[in-house]
Amino acid sequence: EATAVVVVAAGSGERLGYGMPKAKVPLGGETILTHALRGVAAADVARQICVAVPAGDLELRELCEEFRQELGVDGPLITVVDGGSTRAASVRAALGAVLEGTRAVLVHDAARALTPERVFHRVAVALSSGAKAVIPAIPVVDTVKMVAETDGDDAGIAPEIVTGTAPREQLRAVQTPQGFDFETLLRAHAAAATFDDEQAAAVTDDAMLVELLGVPVHAVRGASQSLKITTPLDLIIAEGLLEGPLG
Ligand code: C5P
């Protein structure tokens, strides 16, 4: 079946503190984006890989071009688009360049550069078994609570107050690649394009937009190696994974 993988790599990488887009940050002698693209190509699930890079970033475009040459003529089509100001806007830009006739789209964070092939396969298998939306998920180890800013008498004690505790056994930390029926994902993103700034800021993955349509979202097993490289600590962990037995 005709599948495309969208790789979003248009983030600023501010939290990593390298002073450059995260996709360019070195990891094991290469960039985060190169590792991410290798992982996608190795999984061999797509006829097209569509990459969203920061608008006007010629270096990352060049890197995608080098990768295209590395794959050769038999490899998937590599398409590069300018990303947007939010992750969802970057996904939308990439969806606009997906080939006609595509049935399924996997949306993947470049920041999850070490995602194992088996996770791509689990998502692809669930899609071909009829799911319209599939996400990789792992159990949560921390207890997760809701908080609110304190006001009134409590304000002098601490900045936040706990308003509830989520039952941990029902919680999952979700990862990418998230897989969708192409038409369903287009509908979900068309709805999101009309959000105001506050609503847009609350969109942290693609599956939540599909949930808003009332379409069931299925969860398969993710992997701890799929961590989203976000902070300097994550980069140390990723370097360790590359050097260690899991690399
Ligand atoms: O910032 P966040 O952790 O949500 O980023 C997740 C992924 O989305 C990263 O791979 C990042 O490059 C991408 N992103 C993007 N365009 C943005 C913001 C984030 O492609 N405007």
Asked whether 84 lines ligand 1 (CB < 6 A), one says yes
Name the DSSP class of 101.
T
| Residue 220 forms part of a structural domain | yes
Q: Span 88-92, mean pLDDT?
A: 97
The helix (run of H) or strand (run of E) holding residue 237 is helix 232-243
Going from the C-alpha of 99 to that of each of 102, 143, 162, 219, the distances in angstroms are 6, 43, 47, 26
Asked if residue 159 is part of any domain, the answer here is no
* Residue 158 maps to a domain: no
CATH number, domain with residue 212? 3.90.550.10
**Given a cut of 70, is residue 158 above it in pLDDT?**
yes
User: What is the structure's pLDDT at 245?
Assistant: 66
| Domain contains 150 | no
The pLDDT assigned to 246 comes to 58
Q: What is the mean pLDDT of residues 89-107?
A: 98
Domain that holds residue 178: 3-138+171-243
CA dist 242 and 91 (Å) reads 28
Q: Which of 87, 174, 176 for a ligand 1 pocket mutation test, highest count of atoms within 8 Å of Cβ?
A: 87
Instruction: Tell me the pTM.
Output: 0.96
Is residue 41 in a domain?
A: yes
**Beta strand ranges found along the chain (DSSP E):** 3-8, 26-27, 30-31, 48-53, 77-82, 104-109, 133-139, 145-149, 160-165, 172-174, 178-181, 218-221
Give dist(CA 92, CA 102) in Å, integer.
15
Inside any domain, residue 51: yes
Is 102 part of a structural domain of the chain? yes
Q: How many domains does one find in the chain?
A: 1
- Name the residue with the closest Cα to ligand 1, atom 11: 11
User: Is ipTM > 0.90 here?
Assistant: yes
For residue range 48-87, list pLDDT tens digits in order: 999 999 999 999 999 999 999 999 999 999 999 999 999 9
Instruction: Give the number of the atom of ligand 1 that is nearest the alpha carbon of residue 91.
Output: 20
- Closest residue CA from atom 19 of ligand 1: 11
224 Cβ below 6 A of ligand 1: no
Residue 91 included in any domain: yes
In angstroms, what CA-CA distances link 27 with 40, 45, 116? 17, 24, 16
Residue 201's Cβ-count burial label (10 Å; 0-12, 13-18, 19+) is: exposed
What are the CA-CA distances from residue 215 to residues 107, 119, 176, 195 (Å)?
17, 22, 18, 19
